[in-house]
Amino acid sequence: MPGNRQIIVRGRPTCIPQAEHFELVDGNMPFAGAGEILIRNLFLSVDPAMRGWLADTSNYSQPIAIGSVMRSLAVGEVVESNAPAFAAGERVMGWFGWQQFAATTPDAVIRKVEDRDLSPSLALGVLGLNGVTALLGLEKVARPTAGDTVVVSTAAGAVGSAVGQIAKLLGCRTVGITGGAEKLAICRDEFGYDVAIDYQAPGLDQALANVCPQGANVYFDNTAGPISDTVYRNLALHARVVTCGTASVSSWNPVPTGPRIERIVMTRRAQIGGFVVLDYMDEFQPAGARLAQWVREGKLKYREEIVDGIENCPGAIADLYEGRNLGKRLIRLV
Residues that bind ligand NAP (CB under 6 A): 47-49, 129-130, 133, 154, 156-160, 178-179, 183, 222-223, 227, 244-245, 247-248, 275-277, 320-321, 323, 325
Burial of 134 (0-12, 13-18, 19+ CB in 10 A): buried
Q: Of 37 and 54, which CB lies nearer to ligand NAP in the complex structure?
A: 54
In the complex, the smallest distance separating the C-beta of residue 244 from ligand NAP, rounded to whole angstroms, is 4
Least Cβ distance, residue 35 to ligand NAP (angstroms): 30
For residues 130 and 312, which CB has a smaller minimum distance to ligand NAP in the complex?
Answer: 130
Nearer to ligand NAP, 40 or 183 (CB): 183
Angle at 160 between CA 155 and CA 164, to 5 degrees: 85
Please say which residue, 38 or 124, places its beta carbon nearer to ligand NAP: 124
What does the alpha-carbon distance between residue 99 and residue 72 come to, in Å, rounded to a whole number? 9
* Residue pair 51/17 in contact by the 8 Å Cβ criterion: yes
Residue 72 vs 133, nearer CB to ligand NAP:
133
Name the minimum Å distance from CB 268 to ligand NAP.
Answer: 23
Bridge partner residues of 120 (DSSP): none
How near is the Cβ of 25 to ligand NAP at its closest, in Å?
26
* Residue 40: CB minimum distance to ligand NAP, A: 24
Of the two residues 32 and 177, which places its CB atom closer to ligand NAP in the complex?
177
Specify the residue, 61 or 145, whose C-beta has the smaller distance to ligand NAP: 61
CB of 45 to ligand NAP, least distance (A): 9
Between the two ends of the chain, the Cα-to-Cα distance in Å is 17
Query: What's the farthest any 2 CA atoms get from each other in the chain?
Result: 67
What residues have CB less than 8 Å from 107, skipping those under 6 apart?
Answer: none
Least separation, in Å, of the C-beta of 138 and ligand NAP? 12
Measure the CA–CA gap between 163 and 248, rounded to whole angstroms: 19
Preceding amide of 202 cis, omega within 30: no
Phi, psi of 161 (to 5 degrees): -65, -35
How large is the angle between the packed helices 158-169 and 181-189, nearest 10 degrees?
30
Of 225, 252, 247, which Cα lies nearest the Cα of 12? 252
Four-point Cα dihedral 91, 284, 332, 180, nearest 10: 160
If the CB atoms of residues 277 and 310 are measured against ligand NAP, the closer one turns out to be 277
The angle subtended at Cα 137 by Cα 139 and Cα 57, nearest 5°, is 150
CB of 65 to ligand NAP, least distance (A): 21
